[in-house]
Amino acid sequence: TVIELPIGQHVAALAAGQVDGVYTLEPTGTIGRLNGTTRMLEAGVIARYILGDANAPWHGGSATLTTEFIKKNPEFTKKYIAAYAKGINLVRTQPAEARQYLKGYTAIEGPLTGEVPLASYMLYNEFKPADVVAFQKFFDLFTEKGVFEKKLSVESLLFKG
């Protein structure tokens, strides 16, 4: 039986024997692993089972500006994108250095900052056609399940620079 369970209850429900397994997101999986109550069975579940390719990129979030904001603030938009690109580069090239910024800017604190997997960020101009296809497949699932009222085009949502 599959049930919906708030993410904050995943580790406790497993530890109490109320459920046999969960699909969870970070940092919940790492919290359970660090406190000895859970273990990871498989990573990359969205890519493998939803997108159909274990190596497909999965983007669980985005850095977003409205079209109106971009039009009204083109210089600030350029600065924002440059700063975001600098952050992506830091995560890619100096992950240990980047981890310090998890503390205080996210809910990830203490030993978790050194353990939780870092996201594989992509800037708008790094998306290849296959990446857009994978992203679209994920959005289409939301449409199919009624999360979105109508189909959204990922391509139309990406900044064009």
Residue-wise pLDDT tens digits, 58-117: 877 788 999 999 999 999 999 999 999 999 999 999 999 999 999 988 888 888 899 998
In Å, the largest CA–CA distance within the chain is: 54
pLDDT confidence of residue 50: 85
- Assigned domain for 52 exists: no
The pair of three-digit structure tokens given for residue 16, joined into one six-digit string? 């109490």
pLDDT confidence of residue 129: 94
- How do residues 17-53 score in pLDDT, each as one tens digit? 999 999 998 889 999 999 999 998 988 888 888 888 8
The confidence band for 148, taking pLDDT boundaries of 50, 70 and 90, is: very high
pLDDT confidence of residue 125: 94
Between residues 161 and 96, the one the model is more confident about: 96
CA angle 130, 127, 96 (to 5 degrees): 115
- Assigned domain for 92 exists: yes
- Assigned domain for 126 exists: yes
pLDDT confidence of residue 57: 83
- Assigned domain for 105 exists: yes
pLDDT confidence of residue 2: 84
Question: Do 96 and 149 sit in the same domain of this protein?
Answer: yes
pLDDT confidence of residue 72: 98
Say how many domains are in the chain: 2
pLDDT confidence of residue 87: 94
pLDDT confidence of residue 1: 84
Question: Do 79 and 146 sit in the same domain of this protein?
Answer: yes
**Mean pLDDT for the chain overall:** 91
Bridge partner residues of 145 (DSSP):
none
- Assigned domain for 50 exists: no
For residues 125 and 158, what is the distance between their CA atoms, to the nearest angstrom? Answer: 9
Question: Do 79 and 150 sit in the same domain of this protein?
Answer: yes
The confidence band for 133, taking pLDDT boundaries of 50, 70 and 90, is: very high
Q: Is the pLDDT of residue 54 over 80?
A: yes
Compute the average pLDDT of residues 148-152.
95
